[in-house]
Amino acid sequence: MAAAVNTPLPIVVLISGRGSNLQSIIDAIAAGELPVEIRAVISNRPDAQGLQRAARASIATRVVDHRQYPERMAFDAALQAAIDDYRPQLVVLAGFMRILTPALVQHYRGRMINIHPSLLPEFPGLNTHQRVLDAGRKETGATIHFVTEETDGGPAILQARVAVLTGDDADSLAARVLEQEHRVYPVVIRWYAEGRVQLDPQGQVRFDHDVLERPLRLSSESGAPC
């Protein structure tokens, strides 16, 4: 049962590139489907196209360029300071291509989520779609998970499944997975804003107060979790 949301949940979105998942969040807010306020979009790359998407939507932007910092801890300290300036209750990684230090991850424990283009725990890391094809898989997808110290290893919340078709290459497969990413990411953010999903002190995902034994999936017909 969804809780009434009277005040939009403040969030910050981190990007490194095109920002297509960011756009799906912006569009869901504009359609009245997502009770959140994007207080800022932050990128580690000054040329990230997603910064233009944010600017067109009148969302504050900031760049914390990782190339300006001698090592990861210094970059993450600057990134954390930038995020905290906006006082978000949730940090959304939407194609943010940096490995975060344990200190930063712990600072946002239970308040940071990521989307990855595979059915985790399979195929964490980079070059996901080619690795799926090379392994001969018949199915892949996308996973939204809480961020922990293990790269792409945090507890999963929701998955979308995508069939691997005969003749697929990495680009065609990536395009179909991305369609599902755009579908499911706003759903999880809405659940978080409504208090339906959370990370408990034991590191387990709870949905409507019950521990998830496995990631949820969305019904293609109704959009209801199953």
What is the mean pLDDT of the segment spanning 31-42?
97
What's the pLDDT at 218? Answer: 74
What's the pLDDT at 219? Answer: 56
CATH fold of the domain at 9-197: Rossmann fold (3.40.50)
Cβ contacts of residue 126 below 8 Å, gap of 6+? Answer: none
Could you tell me which residues are beta bridge partners of residue 13?
41, 92
What's the pLDDT at 189? Answer: 98
Query: pLDDT tens digit string along 73-112?
Result: 999 999 999 999 999 999 999 999 999 999 999 999 999 9
Residue 171: which of 132, 204, 201, 226 has the closest Cα? 132
Active site residues: 116
What type of residue is 177?
Answer: V
Does 220 have pLDDT greater than 80?
no
Query: pLDDT tens digit string along 114-156?
Result: 999 999 999 999 999 999 999 999 999 999 999 999 989 999 9
Query: Which SS3 state, helix, strand or coil, does residue 179 take?
Result: helix
Q: Are 59 and 38 in contact (CB under 8 A)?
A: yes
In three-state form (DSSP H/G/I as H, E/B as E, the rest C), the secondary structure along 21-81 is: HHHHHHHHHHCCCCCEEEEEEEECCCCCCHHHHHHHCCCCEEECCHHHCCCHHHHHHHHHH
Model confidence band, residue 223 (pLDDT cutoffs 50, 70, 90): low
Domain boundaries, the chain: 9-197
Q: Report residue 65 CA to chain centroid gap.
A: 20
pTM: 0.93
Q: Are 214 and 164 in contact (CB under 8 A)?
A: no
What's the pLDDT at 1? Answer: 45
Q: How many helices (H) and strands (E) does the chain have?
A: 6, 11
User: What integer best gives the mean pLDDT of the chain?
Assistant: 94
